């Protein structure tokens, strides 16, 4: 499986202290994405020009030889064995903190078989499993995954389908249906909403989101509100691609906007947390 | 105040009195007082040679207690100062006699300035300096040492703690709270009466020491009485009835303690303070004094006062706050030369221990422990330092309360693991109960409080020893042959050969250092016995022997090893790139180091980015760190010292990793010449890139119970401490590290932006305290180099 990062001491990706596994490849193309290097399923070379010391002879595609790591290979093949070995290094801290492993991406469900195999193995080892996903996937795949994880972190970006297509490249219908399915199955999940001024912080979207979530038979009733930041910009530069090519207006929401959105959720009976 | 206060009635924080006292302490400049030196010099001139040294020292102490200017400030409840006024530091010419030039330097240097008037400098030149010429401990030491020792010392292979100050690391157990000095004196007199001059060949020595101890009791009682009289005089003149009553109470307290055992919290605190001042007046021990587990000691007085209605929580907190101000009124005695470079700070490293376990192993955190956390957060002064002690049975509530104070970013408390340090002590031969009653003093050093004389003797620069090894015994910086000729490394055909050569050099330098340690210990025993301190360290009275002569129940000598991270990274660089991958030859590496990587940035970058370094939970590097550590233990541990005890190692650096870096050329791990080496047992700067859990796992591979303490610095940005949930996760990190056998961990919570701004606008950050290495210091008081290091330390940011 192609993994582009493994992060230890992840404290914003679910309960406790976790190790987060980043799968490469995503069906969505969210304009604000802070991990655009996760879009393609293929390994690629990123170039960070700030680190470059202009060697007389550049290593070029042989990025592993780059002295400064200005050129860096993003995405490497991992065997299940090696990945589990890497994860096991954190067993003590996971157990002591009530943490575990989070599969993230990209979209882990795009790698259904690999993700499922990994989750099953982690389950055999009694590690807590969490999947951070767009839910843009076949409902049967999701059912299979749901049987092998304890918690989902589900991204919900926009309620208006036209806007969803405009900003993410795909329709939200499948996503909304899958959220409903998860709730009806009784699966445990958090909803995570990136908040981007100019895209989805308007009252209509917030009220529609609340309205939708209120119709779900959802026990957890907890949303994480994640204020937008533009780390994606730098990643695009390293990829040699353009950030926000259509020039949409995107801003971090002001504190009072955040505040009133949080209040709106709370008033509607949800637990609303700013940040992961 | 962001953390929950256990007792809501006290939400007000510092009261007006404490605010005023704190402000006054901040506003008072640090000065040098020549009073002690004048009294002592006059006394020595008249009496030296007429009486046994122990008695001479005790009478000298008595003379100082009798004649020194005493001070009771407005608003004060706890009284007495080391100097004539707050923040006035006496000198100790019997150890190091500052020259006129030294005094001018201290008066004018930019950092850690001690002001002194020209008139005082003139008096010093006339009255003090001529008498001590040739008679100081420092001269005794430097006149004795071999050329090899002196050259290695000046090259920065090791330092020597006891050339300017007496050995420190004295922490108290609870005995002073049960026994007054009159009872102690009666016990001493009984001991004298029981001496057997026929069958005990040491009886005469014992008699002299015991007599000296008895004089020391009188001295401290006299010192307190003088304060009682002053308070009475002030009360008589005082028109404000409330202050008048306070002064009368102060007089009562000072009439009672230290002569008698304290009866209430006020007396208990004043008792400690007199004992504290006694020990730092007779000598200037490093890490001068520490009350030990003060929360356990004071709790019975607090409980009784609350129960019988004579005390409120607010009053108790005010009294303890007054003690905290007193600690901060005592800057460290000034150092000069190499010693000022290695440890230049006003901080005298009083490290209060709270929480932890009691003598029976039960969790000891109590109301006073929480109260002290509140006080520490409210006052956030340079001194005292504070540490929370988290055993397996310590409640999470206490750990979380401590972490919330850490979150404020003042650099304390640091966090210790009694489960590990009790094992360290029992492994070194202390009884389980004595070990539990022990703790950590100074930075991270363990000791059996009230029962041990543990002398720290200096740091060992392990990367420097590698530099010397790589040059066949020659030091390219000092340009001298300092070490053994262990061979030209260009001819080595295996990593093992290089490692063996370093090992041989390391053992050579350890031996060189130890040979002088023993001499210095004898000089303290012969010329500077601590007859007052000996009253409070078991079993000095029973044995009739001084603290410096083996009187303590346990007698340890420590060498502190620094640079574990740096040397490990150097070894992995050479092992991997020279002997395994053959990417570079030894010649290439050595040439690059010699020219400080000039023109070799490509190589340097490759090494920095493609070598397994310590602190990443990588077996390749960690196994080498374990090997280096074990070999240091084996080289140092178990050598007999002059006091019937043994040498041990501990792993701290204070700020010495900066000084040691400054004397060390570029190293194979890509570190530039003169940059700091790694601190304590922390990874080298910028070497750890897998987050704090990887760091604690690497550190967990060292068997820390073999040391007398290790030090791990973790720099967290405030973002990682934002929510209570984050604090809970950080608490788990601490628990897991301690489960791995970690001895100590500390967090520096400050963002880089703030620090950069503080560098630019020092005046706006006067109270910015940051964790350095086992202690906190004002950012403004640090050299630019140290400031940059603090900024550069790996930021574990979780974006």
Rounded distance between C-alpha atoms, residue B368 and residue B293, angstroms: 11
Strand partners, B771: B776
The residues, ordered by sequence, that sit 6+ positions from B278 with a Cβ below 8 Å of its Cβ are B61, B216, B219, B220, B223, B532, B533
| pLDDT above 80 for B789 | no
* Chain A environment of B701 (Cβ under 8 Å): none
* Total number of domains constituting chain A: 1
Encoding tokens for residue A38? 């996760």
From the number of C-beta atoms within 10 Å of its C-beta (0-12, 13-18, 19+), residue B110 rates as exposed
The residues, ordered by sequence, that sit 6+ positions from B580 with a Cβ below 8 Å of its Cβ are none
Q: Match 């055993």 to its residue by tokens.
A: B391
The tens digit of pLDDT for each residue in B643-673 reads 999 999 999 888 889 899 999 999 999 999 9
* Chain B environment of A92 (Cβ under 8 Å): 697, 736, 739-740
The answer to whether the Cα torsion of B709, B715, B721, B726 is positive or negative is negative
Calculate the alpha carbon distances from A268 to A197, A207, A209, A265, B14 in Å. 22, 10, 11, 5, 42
From the number of C-beta atoms within 10 Å of its C-beta (0-12, 13-18, 19+), residue B131 rates as middle
Confirm or reject contact between A7 and chain B (CB < 8 A).
yes
- pLDDT confidence of residue B467: 98
Indicate the residue of A12, A55, A92 with minimum beta-carbon distance to B739. A92
Rounded distance between C-alpha atoms, residue B321 and residue B325, angstroms: 6
Distance from CA of B676 to the nearest CA of A (A): 22
The answer to whether A9 contacts B796, with C-beta atoms less than 8 Å apart, is: yes
* Structural domain harbouring A76: 2-274
Of the residues B63, B94, B445, B600, only one is catalytic, namely: B445
Structure confidence at residue A235 as a pLDDT band (50, 70, 90): confident
Q: Are A7 and A19 in contact (CB under 8 A)?
A: yes
Q: Which of A81, A83, A88, A92 is nearest to A17 (CA)?
A: A92
- pLDDT confidence of residue B225: 98
Structure confidence at residue B341 as a pLDDT band (50, 70, 90): low
Structure confidence at residue B168 as a pLDDT band (50, 70, 90): confident
The answer to whether B602 contacts A90, with C-beta atoms less than 8 Å apart, is: no
Encoding tokens for residue B538? 């078991």
Identify whether B443 is a catalytic site residue: yes
In chain B, pLDDT over 70 holds for what percent of residues?
94
* Chain A environment of B729 (Cβ under 8 Å): 11, 16-17, 97, 99
Confirm or reject contact between A62 and chain B (CB < 8 A).
no
- Using the CB atoms, write b or e for B29-65: b if 16+ within 10 Å: ebbbbbbbbbbbbebbeeeeeeebbbbbbbbbbbbbb
The answer to whether B609 contacts A67, with C-beta atoms less than 8 Å apart, is: yes
* Chain B environment of A69 (Cβ under 8 Å): 609
Of the residues B254, B443, B664, B730, only one is catalytic, namely: B443
Average pLDDT over residues B553-577: 97
Indicate the residue of B605, B720, B739 with minimum beta-carbon distance to A96. B739
Rounded distance between C-alpha atoms, residue B465 and residue B33, angstroms: 40
Q: How many residues does chain B have?
A: 799
Q: Are B464 and B427 in contact (CB under 8 A)?
A: no
Rounded distance between C-alpha atoms, residue B695 and residue B737, angstroms: 9
State whether residue A21 is helix, strand or coil. strand
Rounded distance between C-alpha atoms, residue B708 and residue B648, angstroms: 7
End-to-end alpha-carbon separation of chain B, Å?
27
Distance from CA of B731 to the nearest CA of A (A): 8
Q: Are A96 and B735 in contact (CB under 8 A)?
A: yes
The tens digit of pLDDT for each residue in B11-67 reads 457 899 999 999 999 999 999 999 999 999 999 999 999 999 999 999 999 999 999
Confirm or reject contact between A231 and chain B (CB < 8 A).
yes
Identify whether B437 is a catalytic site residue: no
Chain B residues interacting with chain A (CB cutoff of 8 angstroms)? 601-603, 605-606, 609-610, 617, 690-694, 696-697, 720, 722-723, 725-726, 728-729, 732-733, 735-736, 739-740, 796, 798-799
Encoding tokens for residue B670? 């890509």
The answer to whether B723 contacts A92, with C-beta atoms less than 8 Å apart, is: no
Q: Are B129 and B76 in contact (CB under 8 A)?
A: no
Confirm or reject contact between A21 and chain B (CB < 8 A).
no
- The upper half-sphere exposure of residue A273, i.e. CA atoms within 13 Å in the direction of its Cβ, equals 16
The answer to whether B609 contacts A69, with C-beta atoms less than 8 Å apart, is: yes
End-to-end alpha-carbon separation of chain A, Å?
26
Indicate the residue of B603, B723, B732 with minimum beta-carbon distance to A97. B732
Q: Is A132 left (phi over 0), alpha (psi -120 to 50) or beta?
A: beta
Indicate the residue of A8, A12, A93 with minimum beta-carbon distance to B736. A93
State whether residue B671 is helix, strand or coil. strand
- pLDDT confidence of residue B691: 83
Strand partners, B89: B32
The interaxial angle of helices B691-700 and B724-739, nearest 10 deg, is 20
The residues, ordered by sequence, that sit 6+ positions from A174 with a Cβ below 8 Å of its Cβ are A135, A136, A137
* Chain B environment of A58 (Cβ under 8 Å): none
- pLDDT confidence of residue B767: 58
- pLDDT confidence of residue B793: 63
Indicate the residue of B609, B690, B720 with minimum beta-carbon distance to A8. B690
Calculate the alpha carbon distances from B573 to A9, A146, B584, B607, B741 in Å. 27, 46, 10, 7, 28
* Chain A environment of B725 (Cβ under 8 Å): 11
- pLDDT confidence of residue A178: 98
The answer to whether A16 contacts B732, with C-beta atoms less than 8 Å apart, is: yes
| pLDDT above 70 for A80 | yes
* Chain B environment of A93 (Cβ under 8 Å): 693, 696, 732-733, 736
The answer to whether A53 contacts B605, with C-beta atoms less than 8 Å apart, is: yes
The interaxial angle of helices B53-67 and B265-282, nearest 10 deg, is 120
Q: Match 């002997």 to its residue by tokens.
A: B579
Encoding tokens for residue B396? 């999470």
Rounded distance between C-alpha atoms, residue B708 and residue B424, angstroms: 6
Distance from CA of B376 to the nearest CA of A (A): 28
* Chain B environment of A12 (Cβ under 8 Å): 798
Q: Are B790 and B772 in contact (CB under 8 A)?
A: yes
Rounded distance between C-alpha atoms, residue A274 and residue A256, angstroms: 12
Rounded distance between C-alpha atoms, residue B169 and residue B452, angstroms: 9
Encoding tokens for residue B770? 């940051």
Q: How many residues does chain A have?
A: 276
Rounded distance between C-alpha atoms, residue B410 and residue B401, angstroms: 15
* Chain A environment of B600 (Cβ under 8 Å): none
State whether residue B3 is helix, strand or coil. coil
Any idea which of B667-671, B682-686, B740-744 has the lowest mean pLDDT?
B682-686
Local structure of residue B357 (DSSP, 8 states): B
- Phi, psi at residue B77, to the nearest 5°? -110, -40
The answer to whether A67 contacts B602, with C-beta atoms less than 8 Å apart, is: yes
Q: What is the count of residue pairs from A and B with beta carbons less than 8 Å apart?
A: 66
Q: Match 């001590």 to its residue by tokens.
A: B132
Calculate the alpha carbon distances from B113 to B32, B104, B106, B334, B350 in Å. 9, 10, 5, 9, 20
Q: Match 């009790």 to its residue by tokens.
A: B422
Distance from CA of A210 to the nearest CA of B (A): 25
- pLDDT confidence of residue B719: 67
The answer to whether A11 contacts B720, with C-beta atoms less than 8 Å apart, is: yes
Q: For chain B, how big is the Rg over CA atoms in Å?
A: 26
Between these two residues, B604 and B685, which has the higher pLDDT value? B604
* Chain A environment of B686 (Cβ under 8 Å): none
Confirm or reject contact between A9 and chain B (CB < 8 A).
yes
- The upper half-sphere exposure of residue B368, i.e. CA atoms within 13 Å in the direction of its Cβ, equals 27
The answer to whether B723 contacts A275, with C-beta atoms less than 8 Å apart, is: yes
Confirm or reject contact between A59 and chain B (CB < 8 A).
no
Rounded distance between C-alpha atoms, residue B13 and residue B27, angstroms: 21
Confirm or reject contact between A275 and chain B (CB < 8 A).
yes
Local structure of residue B763 (DSSP, 8 states): G
Q: For chain A, how big is the Rg over CA atoms in Å?
A: 19
The answer to whether A231 contacts B736, with C-beta atoms less than 8 Å apart, is: no
The tens digit of pLDDT for each residue in B691-708 reads 889 999 999 999 999 999
- Count other Cβ atoms within 10 Å, centred on residue B753: 10
Structure confidence at residue B711 as a pLDDT band (50, 70, 90): very high
- The interface pTM score, or ipTM, of the predicted complex is 0.93
Any idea which of A56-60, B464-468, B506-510 has the lowest mean pLDDT?
A56-60
Any idea which of A102-106, A111-115, A144-148, B781-785 has the lowest mean pLDDT?
B781-785
Q: Are B452 and B438 in contact (CB under 8 A)?
A: yes
Distance from CA of A94 to the nearest CA of B (A): 9
Distance from CA of A143 to the nearest CA of B (A): 31
Q: Are A145 and A125 in contact (CB under 8 A)?
A: no
Between these two residues, B10 and A105, which has the higher pLDDT value? A105
Confirm or reject contact between A246 and chain B (CB < 8 A).
no
Indicate the residue of A7, A10, A93 with minimum beta-carbon distance to B732. A93
State whether residue B115 is helix, strand or coil. strand
Cα A271–A275–B4 angle (5° rounding)? 75
The tens digit of pLDDT for each residue in B125-136 reads 999 999 999 999
- pLDDT confidence of residue B439: 96
The answer to whether A89 contacts B697, with C-beta atoms less than 8 Å apart, is: yes
Indicate the residue of A8, A12, A69 with minimum beta-carbon distance to B691. A8
Rounded distance between C-alpha atoms, residue B606 and residue B376, angstroms: 45
The residues, ordered by sequence, that sit 6+ positions from B74 with a Cβ below 8 Å of its Cβ are B20
- Phi, psi at residue A56, to the nearest 5°? -55, -40
Indicate the residue of A12, A69, A93 with minimum beta-carbon distance to B733. A93
Q: Are B493 and B580 in contact (CB under 8 A)?
A: no
The residues, ordered by sequence, that sit 6+ positions from B427 with a Cβ below 8 Å of its Cβ are B705, B706
């Amino acid at each position: 499986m192609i993994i582009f990062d493994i992060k230890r001491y992840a404290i914003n990706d679910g309960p406790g202290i976790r190790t987060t596994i980043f799968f490469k490849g995503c069906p969505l193309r969210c304009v604000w994405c802070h991990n655009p290097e996760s879009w393609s399923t293929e390994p690629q070379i990123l170039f960070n020009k700030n680190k470059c010391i202009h060697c007389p002879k550049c290593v070029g595609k042989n990025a592993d030889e780059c002295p400064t790591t200005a050129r860096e290979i993003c995405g490497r093949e991992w065997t299940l064995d090696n990945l589990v070995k890497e994860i096991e290094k954190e067993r003590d801290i996971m157990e002591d903190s009530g943490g575990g492993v989070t599969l993230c991406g990209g979209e882990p469900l795009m790698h259904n078989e690999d993700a499922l195999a990994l989750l099953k193995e982690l389950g055999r080892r009694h590690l807590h499993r969490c999947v951070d996903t767009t839910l843009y996937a076949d409902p049967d795949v999701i059912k299979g995954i749901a049987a092998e994880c304890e918690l989902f972190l589900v991204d919900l970006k926009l309620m208006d389908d036209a806007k969803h297509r405009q900003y993410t490249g795909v329709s939200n219908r499948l996503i909304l249906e899958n959220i409903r399915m998860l709730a009806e199955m009784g699966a445990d999940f958090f909803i995570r909403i990136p908040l981007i001024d100019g895209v989805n912080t308007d009252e209509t979207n917030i009220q529609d989101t609340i309205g939708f979530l209120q119709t779900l038979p959802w026990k957890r009733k907890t949303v994480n509100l994640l204020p937008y930041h533009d780390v994606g910009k730098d990643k695009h530069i390293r990829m040699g691609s353009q950030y926000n090519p259509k020039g949409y207006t995107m801003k971090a929401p002001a504190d009072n906007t955040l505040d009133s959105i949080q209040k709106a959720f709370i008033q509607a009976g949800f637990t609303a947390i700013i940040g992961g | 105040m962001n953390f929950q206060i256990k007792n809501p009635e006290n939400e007000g924080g510092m009261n007006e009195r404490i605010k005023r006292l704190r402000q006054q302490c901040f506003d008072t400049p640090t000065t040098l007082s020549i009073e002690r030196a004048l009294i002592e010099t006059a006394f020595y001139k008249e009496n030296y040679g007429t009486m046994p040294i122990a008695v001479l020292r005790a009478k000298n102490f008595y003379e100082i207690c009798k004649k020194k200017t005493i001070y009771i400030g407005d608003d004060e409840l706890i009284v007495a100062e080391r100097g004539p006024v707050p923040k006035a530091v006496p000198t100790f010419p019997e150890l190091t006699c500052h020259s006129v030039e030294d005094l001018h330097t201290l008066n004018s240097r930019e950092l850690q300035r001690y002001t002194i008037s020209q008139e005082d400098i003139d008096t010093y030149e006339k009255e003090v300096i001529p008498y001590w010429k040739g008679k100081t401990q420092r001269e005794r030491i430097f006149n004795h040492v071999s050329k090899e020792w002196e050259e290695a010392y000046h090259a920065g292979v090791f330092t020597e703690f006891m050339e300017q100050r007496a050995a420190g690391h004295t922490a108290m157990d609870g005995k002073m709270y049960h026994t007054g000095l009159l009872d102690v004196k009666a016990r001493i007199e009984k001991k004298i009466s029981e001496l057997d001059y026929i069958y005990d060949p040491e009886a005469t020595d014992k008699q002299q020491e015991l007599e000296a101890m008895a004089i020391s009791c009188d001295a401290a009682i006299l010192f307190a009485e003088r304060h009682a009289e002053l308070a009475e005089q002030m009360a008589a003149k005082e028109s404000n009835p409330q202050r008048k009553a306070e002064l009368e109470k102060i007089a009562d307290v000072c009439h009672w303690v230290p002569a008698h055992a304290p009866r209430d919290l006020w007396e208990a605190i004043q008792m400690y303070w007199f004992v504290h001042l006694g020990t730092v007046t007779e000598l200037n021990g490093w890490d001068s004094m520490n009350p030990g587990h003060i929360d356990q000691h004071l709790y019975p007085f607090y409980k009784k006062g609350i129960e019988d209605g004579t005390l409120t929580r607010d009053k108790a907190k005010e009294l303890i706050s007054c003690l905290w101000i007193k600690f901060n009124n005592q800057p460290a005695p000034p150092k000069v030369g190499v010693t000022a470079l290695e440890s230049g700070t006003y901080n005298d490293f009083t490290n209060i221990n709270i929480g932890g376990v009691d003598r029976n192993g039960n969790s000891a955190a109590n109301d006073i422990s929480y109260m002290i956390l509140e006080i520490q957060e409210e006052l956030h002064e340079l001194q005292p330092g504070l540490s929370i002690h988290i055993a397996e049975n310590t409640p999470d509530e206490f750990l979380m309360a401590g972490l919330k104070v850490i979150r404020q970013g003042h650099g304390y408390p640091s966090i210790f693991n009694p489960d590990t340090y009790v094992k360290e002590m029992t492994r070194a031969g202390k009884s389980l109960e004595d070990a539990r009653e022990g703790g950590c003093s100074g930075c991270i050093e363990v000791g059996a409080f009230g029962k041990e004389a543990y002398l720290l003797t200096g740091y060992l620069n392990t990367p420097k020893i590698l530099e010397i090894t790589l040059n066949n015994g020659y030091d390219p910086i000092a340009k001298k042959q300092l070490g053994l000729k262990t061979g030209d490394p260009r001819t080595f055909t295996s990593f093992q050969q290089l490692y063996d050569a370093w090992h041989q050099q390391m053992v050579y330098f350890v031996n060189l250092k130890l040979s002088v340690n023993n001499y210095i210990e004898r000089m303290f025993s012969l010329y500077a016995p601590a007859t007052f301190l000996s009253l409070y360290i078991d079993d000095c009275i029973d044995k009739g022997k001084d603290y410096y002569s083996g009187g303590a129940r346990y007698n340890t000598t420590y060498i502190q090893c620094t640079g574990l991270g740096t040397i490990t990274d150097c070894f992995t660089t050479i092992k991997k790139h020279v002997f395994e991958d053959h990417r570079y030859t030894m010649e290439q590496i050595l040439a690059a180091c010699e020219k400080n990587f000039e023109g070799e940035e490509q190589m340097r970058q490759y090494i920095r980015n493609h070598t397994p370094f310590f602190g990443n939970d990588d077996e390749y590097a960690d196994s080498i760190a374990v090997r280096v550590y074990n070999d240091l233990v084996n080289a140092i541990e178990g050598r007999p010292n002059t006091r019937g005890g043994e040498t041990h190692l501990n792993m701290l650096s204070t700020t010495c990793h900066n000084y040691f870096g400054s004397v060390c050329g570029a190293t194979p791990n890509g570190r530039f010449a003169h940059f700091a080496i790694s601190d304590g047992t922390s990874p080298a700067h910028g070497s750890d890139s897998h987050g704090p859990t990887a760091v604690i796992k690497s550190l967990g591979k060292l068997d820390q119970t073999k040391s007398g303490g290790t030090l791990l610095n973790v720099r967290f940005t405030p973002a990682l401490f934002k929510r209570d949930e984050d604090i809970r996760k950080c608490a788990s990190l601490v628990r897991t590290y301690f489960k791995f056998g970690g001895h100590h961990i500390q967090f520096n919570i400050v963002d880089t932006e703030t620090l950069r701004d503080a560098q630019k606008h020092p005046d706006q950050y006067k109270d910015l305290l940051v964790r350095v290495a086992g202690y906190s210091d004002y950012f403004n008081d640090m050299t630019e180099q140290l400031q940059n290091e603090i900024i550069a330390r790996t930021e574990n940011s979780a974006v």
